[in-house]
Amino acid sequence: MSFTIENVDEVIQRTGATYKEAKEALEAAEGDVLEAIIKVEEGRKKKTGNTAKEKGNEVVDKLKELVKKGNVTRIMLKKEDRLILDIPVTAGAVGAIVFAPATVAAIIVSLATGCKIEIQKESGEIIDVNDVTEEKMEKVIEMAEEFGESAKEKAAEAKEKASEAKEKAVEKAAEVKGKMTKKAEDEKE
């Protein structure tokens, strides 16, 4: 279990660890530099939880899911209550603008720099995405799904009513045509 100062320096150089962290990792890895580097990285992940990129991707995925459900009208990025970016969400712009690589990168960077991400729902309610817990986000998604189902049901009802109205119009047109034909025949006689 011997290692040199060069081994410690190598772990520090590759991970940015302190001398103490590098020494402890090398001791735990029995002098294996690669294993020590892995231990330092794993230790940091446990301490910090998700990296900014992972957190950003998680938020972007949740935003995509909400927008896909059609329950979001706007996405806003704010820094110290100052509006930095305001993205209106319309059906045609969702894929092309809202989740373009540059926009996704901006959302991730904004999270890393302390910006707040807010979404505005159709009801006017504003949700601070940074404060939303997994449970709240699931509830919002569930509500969006319910809204989507309700909209589908109403669309089906409207389609059925339109179909019934069309049938009645066709019947009425046939009836009028029959009367007009009969009247024309009567006038010929």
Residue with tokens 């047109």: 173
Would you place residue 18 in the very low, low, confident or very high pLDDT band (cuts 50, 70, 90)? confident
- pTM flag (> 0.95): no
What is d(CA 157, CA 148) in angstroms, rounded to the nearest whole number? 14
What is d(CA 90, CA 120) in angstroms, rounded to the nearest whole number? 12
Would you place residue 111 in the very low, low, confident or very high pLDDT band (cuts 50, 70, 90)? low
- What's residue 133's pLDDT? 45
Contact 111, 52 (CB under 8 A): yes
Catalogue all structural domains in the chain, each as residue range(s) with its CATH number: 5-48 (1.10.8), 52-132 (3.30.1490)
Contact 52, 108 (CB under 8 A): yes
First to last CA, the chain: 120
